[in-house]
A and B are shown apart, each in its own frame.
Chain A
């Protein structure tokens, strides 16, 4: 019995050379120190990709990549196809987790100095994988062909249209025609299911081939410097001293990947898939159009940067960032690997995460977007209405009716594009308010043409009533300059600091 089995095994071995394959892959020697929790992010990214492929294939069985049908096929997946929503959820959360663990992987590789000699190409192929993954995330949100996707493509076209000289051609190439329609969706579909995943597979192969060829980066020791002349021998020495087969240190990877899968499943079952939201029907009035998480920071930057800087944000900055990423292993090819002795690298990581994190937070809050329905659907709290005179009430009506509320909050409710006006009377006097309303400025439109004098006076009368009961409204200081010591007007908190609003 045993000999028969052994003979069968040998028959296959003679044809497949599995022992050799094992030696070159799972059995290849790695430093024992790399069996670390910090080294698990790479395999986690790959696991996410596998999830994406599997769920993606099943989604493609129901998805119809046509502008007329895509939204409906997603509704079928959500509501009709048994467990269709689970596939959609796992694909969505798998994509989110893929971006997150990929960023962890990249950060770890950067801080551990693994991009230095002789693993430059490993880093470069990883950078390509980063671009491909983000491309998949973006094209993926277009697949959810709702209003966000439709206007997201529109944003892509508008960005393309800003490229000098070739902008027009880029727009037409991107949309596959003169206007956003099914051709645009089909292009993104081809990208999302053929071009990008195919390229990703190819580059994952190169990436892994390089990892096998050049070995996993050893845990750096502070003070041990990488030198081109000596490193190969140094690494060889480590393998000789403490080398173990890769398969022997995968226990932490197995645990980490198991947890990752459970997280994806839990997010799917308890949070569920995203959307689809409002259908991609252009005449439908939409309250906002936001991209998915990985691109929120870019969305926020587009709102927060000064006007006219879009060319920097969308072209110059990404070009510089890409150049810096690709040039990194050549700029810093040798030397210290341990993060403790690389303060600049730590600063880069901290600043990048702080910047992206803050921008993402801003984008979630979206203070620059008008609250489009506030003017008709958001009442003012009773305490800011009670006790007002008839003309002040009429001013509050002007405030609501003229859509002031869409950009200005009262008691924190309303748009946040302009300043909150809960206590505006303590900051600005009546003439200052009149001037601001009529002339606009500071990113506020001028209302001179749209408000009658009566409406303006009533509106300002109401605004002048907006101050806490114990804080008097701001007063005119013009012409009443008095020597210090004589009863000068008591400055109120934030009093008269109107320059910022002018």
Chain B
């Protein structure tokens, strides 16, 4: 053995001392302020709030939601801020949109709802002359013509589905969406899915507000008024048109 006791102890002491002097503050094991638990009410970051509460249905930057994208600039430019706030806080009765405000059994404080609303509206497109967010019911008969002019190219004859897009007159679909939802989709399109907005269906000829109302009325006229066939979820009535 070439090692003598003093040399071993000395080198051990020196290396431990150097390690200690290098500072414990940079060590990965030291708990960081950011690791500290925060009450859910303290989350003020839009991305976290949106990711935890909205992204599953409305999609985010990297994914597509089954429902409309609420980060679509055109949609955000059309929807009035107070309505957006009311929808997030109270939800929309009769649709899957739940109310997120604490008063409605949700998890978000008023301040957090405001953060969502403010951040979303700041992404609105800077356009004027946009059709209003909502409108009185239109004329379904005229809507049929409007459909053929703007929509049939993709959604097929009489809305039965085409090569580029599926059926829009499926009674189950129409039962599950409101006229307002249909209007929002027609205006804003679904760019994330390849659907154009109201200005793009026919190049250089945006739909008028009345045309939009009419085509929504025409779509709504395909809703089943009677409940026959709905008593049991009959598999024969499924709307898959692949």
**Within 8 Å by CB, do A and B touch in the complex?**
yes
Q: A-side interface residues toward B, CB under 8 Å?
A: 75, 78-79, 83, 85-86, 89, 267-273, 276-279, 284-285, 373-382, 385-386, 388-401, 405, 430-431, 434, 438, 451-458, 460-462, 464-465
Q: Are A456 and B173 closer than 8 Å at their CB atoms? A: no
CA distance A424 to B59 in the complex (A): 23
Q: Contact check: which of A79, A386, A395, A453 meets B230 at CB < 8 Å?
A: A453
Q: Are B66 and A385 closer than 8 Å at their CB atoms? A: yes
Give the shortest distance, in Å, between B83 (CB) and chain A (any CB). 20
B24 lies within 8 A of chain A by Cβ: yes
Q: Are A386 and B172 closer than 8 Å at their CB atoms? A: no
Q: Which residue of A lies closest to B51 (CB)?
A: A377
- Residues from chain B with a CB closer than 8 A to the CB of A457 are 172, 233-235, 237-239
Q: Are B29 and A83 closer than 8 Å at their CB atoms? A: no
Q: Contact check: which of A89, A373, A394, A430 meets B238 at CB < 8 Å?
A: A430
- Residues from chain B with a CB closer than 8 A to the CB of A397 are 57, 65-67, 96, 176
Give the shortest distance, in Å, between B167 (CB) and chain A (any CB). 6
Q: Are B193 and A386 closer than 8 Å at their CB atoms? A: yes
Give the shortest distance, in Å, between A24 (CB) and chain B (any CB). 28
Give the shortest distance, in Å, between B28 (CB) and chain A (any CB). 5
Taking chain A's interface residues, is the majority helix, strand, or loop, or is none over half, making it mixed?
Answer: helix
Q: B-side interface residues toward A, CB under 8 Å?
A: 24, 27-31, 33, 36-37, 39-40, 51-57, 59-60, 62-67, 96, 98, 107, 161, 165-168, 170-173, 175-177, 192-193, 230-235, 237-242
* CB-CB under 8 A for A385 and B57, given A269-B29, A390-B173, A465-B242: no
Q: Are B24 and A83 closer than 8 Å at their CB atoms? A: yes
Q: Are A394 and B56 closer than 8 Å at their CB atoms? A: no
A-B contact pairs, 12 of them (CB 8 A): A78-B36, A273-B29, A277-B37, A379-B55, A389-B165, A389-B240, A390-B166, A456-B233, A458-B239, A461-B238, A464-B238, A465-B242
- Residues from chain A with a CB closer than 8 A to the CB of B62 are 379, 382
Q: Which residue of A lies closest to B175 (CB)?
A: A454
Q: Are B66 and A380 closer than 8 Å at their CB atoms? A: yes
Q: Are A382 and B64 closer than 8 Å at their CB atoms? A: yes
* CB-CB under 8 A for A453 and B231, given A78-B31, A377-B56, A461-B240: yes
Residue pairs across A and B with CB atoms within 8 Å: the count is 179
CA distance A268 to B33 in the complex (A): 17
Give the shortest distance, in Å, between A118 (CB) and chain B (any CB). 39
CA distance A272 to B30 in the complex (A): 6
Q: Are A378 and B172 closer than 8 Å at their CB atoms? A: no
Q: Contact check: which of A271, A380, A392 meets B29 at CB < 8 Å?
A: A271
- Residues from chain A with a CB closer than 8 A to the CB of B173 are 389-391, 394, 458
Q: Which residue of A lies closest to B106 (CB)?
A: A376
CA distance A388 to B64 in the complex (A): 12
- Residues from chain A with a CB closer than 8 A to the CB of B107 are 285
4 A-B pairs closest in CB distance: A389-B166, A272-B29, A396-B66, A379-B63
Q: Which residue of A lies closest to B31 (CB)?
A: A78
CA distance A490 to B173 in the complex (A): 32
CA distance A285 to B31 in the complex (A): 24
* CB-CB under 8 A for A273 and B31, given A394-B177, A460-B235: yes
- Residues from chain A with a CB closer than 8 A to the CB of B167 are 389-391
Q: Contact check: which of B37, B96, B170, B235 meets A398 at CB < 8 Å?
A: B96
Q: Are B29 and A465 closer than 8 Å at their CB atoms? A: no
CA distance A464 to B172 in the complex (A): 15
CA distance A85 to B27 in the complex (A): 11
